[in-house]
Structure 1
Amino acid sequence: MLSQNNENRNRFLLVLICLTLVFTGSSGLLPGFQPAANAASEKSRSAHSAPAQLRKFAEEASARLAGTEPFTAWAGAALVIEPLGPGTHSWLVTLTKGPKGAVKRLGYMIISATPEGEYKLIEYGQGMNSIYGSGILEDGLSGLGLSQAGSSAAAVTPVYGGPVLAAWMISSAAGKSETVRFVDALTGELLPESRESWTKQSAGYVPPASAVGSAKRGWTPGETIRRADPFDPYDNLLWITGKDQVQLNAGNLEQAFSRQSRFVFAATGSNRTYSVPLPVYGYQIWNLSPPSSGSASVYVLSGTDDSPRWIALDALLASGGFLVMPD
């Protein structure tokens, strides 16, 4: 695992260098929170200790999704809400179902609070090994020679700085010294981060105004439009040349996908210490009823067959750009 992590860190650096050339001048508006004090207390908080308005919005959003494919299994699921912190500006909502002792993780939602106090649905997804999955964390800790129990136990805090900055902060002590490392919440890979670099990158995070929010009722998700099969951006790195940059936005989304079926999102910015490209191969549009200003909210489809991930388009646009994935 460690050798694989070394290889991935080299890939991160290669991709970041190339993307810096491709997206010269891009701003790195990546969210952030200060380092956590106590991971155990963070993880013990559930839906019952979450703010009432947040809990209500999470229940409404999950119920709306449960009325559409492929989320019908979410109907009647239990919701566990944990802060992604510290700072408690974002929360991980885990959906589970099953009898005690055999509970199954169905999927997740991530909700962030705006400066005005509105809750926004930033992303959601499916699968046991979707973002912040326990199996991913176990693999990440194992790769560091740590565990969540016993003499090598580490303090683990889930932290979130937007869709391209999601990780666990892992603090381990040896004598009077403390080591802080970051593990990617999607892959379990060790990230080239420090406490300082994380804070610097995350300082500008603001949930996008266009995301589905708690201030307006009547949001309904449409059909997920899947234009291609999931793919690995590393299968063909020609996209990294930047010859086929795409100004993808809510206004031209359907037209863009009618011409191309696969895109790569690449996070960039002067403060980034690494960049992991995300495959994008479809989208889902939420609409308000009755229609009003800002009555459509776009989420792009990423991830794998086993762990698909829907991400608010404008949350990505704040931290990078899109390129065409070559055939």
Structure 2
Amino acid sequence: MKRPFHPAWNLIRRITAIAVCLLCVNTLLPLLQAEGAGIQDGSESLQSLTIAQSTAVLHSDTMAPDTVQQFAREQALILGSEATGKRWKQAELDFYPLGPGTRSWLVYADVEGSPVGYMIISANDQGQLLLSEYGQGGQRPYSSSLLDQALDKQQLNLQELSTEGGELKWGYAPPLLAYWKVERPHAAAIYIDATNGDTLPEGVLKELELDVDAQNTKRPHSMTTMSGQTTVIPSVSPQDSILSVDSMQLQPSFNPADNLLWITSKAVSITGVKALSEQWKKDKTIVFSANHQNVFYGGPLPVSGYQIWRNDRGTAQLQYVAIGGHNSVRRFVPLQTLIRDGHFYAFKP
């Protein structure tokens, strides 16, 4: 036989139970939020290709640290200083981390759902943020339609892979390799170039991933955990002066494979965009090739334009050169990166 409790004791028990429940909710809430943020590891369900979005205006670190968002907004304002690029200033910026250990973020810029352009921001070993590349308009890496086309060639279906436990991951490898990794439950992973849809060599990418893992173990102590992903929180170096950009100088794009005369030509010396202009004035077409490193560029690629970044005194500070634009995304990348890794070939088509 159960002994009934005194009414006062029953009241104490109820208050205690409510307090315990509140304590449990407060304890579990951070865990539930962390679990919900697990998408930040750079992977996404194959069943759904959408990722929760955040904007630079909100300064939410859900998808990128505040320092990355601040830097992205600064670059968008610079790109918006050019007359035809003013929409950059009003654009909403959506951030997507590009895989654990890469210290890179994809940034889509849109105005009322209309694409303005994209940026990829990376942190170097010193923790400084860099604008690795950018593009204008609707041409963007990691396009879901491009992924669908690439998977169709492999006779793969996202829905079926998802049901079987497959996984899709976004990756970015320096200097300029944007790719997807499609993990299959009973077969080797497939790597796909996210700028042109080409299948990438599995061995090269596996070795690259091992290198990234090894480098992560040697990172300095200026590291923090962001929703389960270990990443460097970079510091933004103050700029010497306010920057602005000149108008884009664009050339018609082409497919280097359609005319292989460039292979037999001698590499030309390109030290700045002035040399590019001189070659184009001679009615010559220019190809960039990184030779054995072409897998990291998606090349060989047509050189299809440039844009100069200047300080408030009008002095050129940065030179970005456009590569691609025919069978791949047109990407504006630092000229010095191209000079370091490859050669330019000019020929009359």
TM (normalized to structure 2)? 0.67
1:238 aligns with 2:261: yes
Equivalent position of 2:194 in the other structure: 185
Structure holding more helix per residue: 2
1:61 counterpart (71, 75, 79): 75
Residues 40 and 218 from structure 1, CA distance in 2 versus in 1: closer, same or farther, beyond 3 angstroms? same
Q: CA separation of 1:271/1:110 partners in 2, compared to 1, >3 Å: closer, same or farther?
A: closer
Whole-Å separation in 2 of the counterparts to 1:167 and 1:67: 31
Bigger mean CA offset, 137-146 vs 180-189: 137-146
Q: CA deviation at 1:153?
A: 6.5
Deviations 1:92-111 (A, max 9, x none): 1111232xxxx333321011
Could you tell me how far 1:221 is from its partner in structure 2? Answer: 1.2
Residues 264, 38 of structure 1: alpha-carbon distance in 2 compared, 3 angstrom cutoff: closer
Aligned positions, number: 271
CA change 1:161–1:65 in 2 (3 A) is: same
1:319 aligns with: 341
Counterpart residue identity of residue 107, structure 1 = G
Per-residue CA deviations over 1:257-308 (Å, capped at 9, x if unaligned) read 213353111122379699621111321111123578xx61110123327953
Indicate how the Cα distance of structure 1 residues 296 and 273 shifts in structure 2: closer, same or farther if over 3 A, else same. Answer: closer
CA contact (8 A) 2:195 2:298 kept: no
Structure 2 letter corresponding to 1:169: K
CA-CA distance at 1:127 after TM superposition: 3.6
After TM superposition, the structure 1 stretch with the greater mean CA deviation from structure 2, 232-241 or 313-322, is 313-322
AA matched with 2:44? A
> CA separation of 1:79/1:256 partners in 2, compared to 1, >3 Å: closer, same or farther?
closer
* 2:245 matches 1:221: yes
Give, in whole Å, the separation in 2 of the partners of 1:288 and 1:96: 26
CA contact (8 A) 2:173 2:296 kept: no
Q: TM-score with structure 1 length normalisation?
A: 0.72
Contact 1:265/1:322 (8 A) holds in 2: yes
Q: Considering only aligned residues, what root-mean-square deviation do their CA atoms show, in Å?
A: 3.2
Displaced runs of 4+ in structure 1, greater than 6 A? 200-204
| Alpha-carbon offset, residue 244 of structure 1 | 2.5
Deviation per residue, 1:15-43 (Å, 9 max, x gap): xxxxxxxxxxxxxxxxxxxxx97612895
Match of 2:312 in 1: 289
Q: Which residue of 2 aligns with 1:29?
A: none
> Which residue pairs with 2:134 in the alignment?
124
Q: Deviation digits for residues 187-230 of structure 1, max 9, x if unmatched?
A: 112122334243478899xxxxxxxx75315121112223x312
Give the alignment partner of residue 106 of structure 1, picking from 100, 116, 120.
116
The residue aligned with 2:274 is 254
Q: Could you say what secondary structure the match of 2:179 adopts?
A: strand
Sort the Cα spacing of 1:152 and 1:276 in 2 relative to 1 into closer, same or farther, 3 A: farther
Q: CA deviation at 1:183?
A: 0.5
Contact 2:132 2:176 in 1 (8 A): no
Q: Compared with structure 1, are the counterparts of its residues 144 and 84 closer, same or farther at alpha carbon in structure 2 (3 Å cutoff)?
A: same
The structure-2 alpha-carbon separation of the partners of 1:105 and 1:71, relative to structure 1 and needing over 3 Å to count, comes to same
What is the CA-CA distance between 1:44 and the residue it aligns to? 4.5
Structure 2 residue aligned with 1:146, among 148, 152, 156? 156
Offset of residue 163 of structure 1:
5.2
What's the secondary structure of 2:79's corresponding residue? helix
What residue in structure 2 maps to residue 6 of structure 1?
Answer: none
Q: Tell whether the 8 Å contact from 1:127 to 1:308 is kept in structure 2 after alignment.
A: no
Percent sequence identity over matched residues? 31
Matched residues in 2 for 1:275 and 1:246: separation?
21
Q: Structure 2: 5+ residue runs without aligned partners? A: 1-39, 216-235
Verify: 1:168 aligned to 2:180, yes or no.
yes
Aligned amino acid, residue 181 of structure 1: I
1:13-162 aligned within 5 A: 39-40=43-44, 43-44=51-52, 46-47=54-55, 48-49=60-61, 50-98=64-112, 103-150=113-160, 151=163, 154-162=166-174
Relative to structure 1, is the Cα distance of residues 117 and 262 closer, same or farther in structure 2, using a 3 angstrom cutoff?
A: same
Q: Which has the larger radius of gyration?
A: 2
Where relative contact order (Cα < 8 A, 6+ residues apart) is larger, the structure is 1
Question: The residue matched to 2:202 in structure 1 has which SS?
Answer: coil
Relative distance call for 1:268 and 1:78 in structure 2 (3 A) is: same
Contact 1:230-1:281 at 8 Å conserved across structures: yes
Q: Go from structure 1 to structure 2 and tell me whether the alpha carbon gap of 1:131 and 1:286 turns closer, same or farther (over 3 Å shift).
A: same
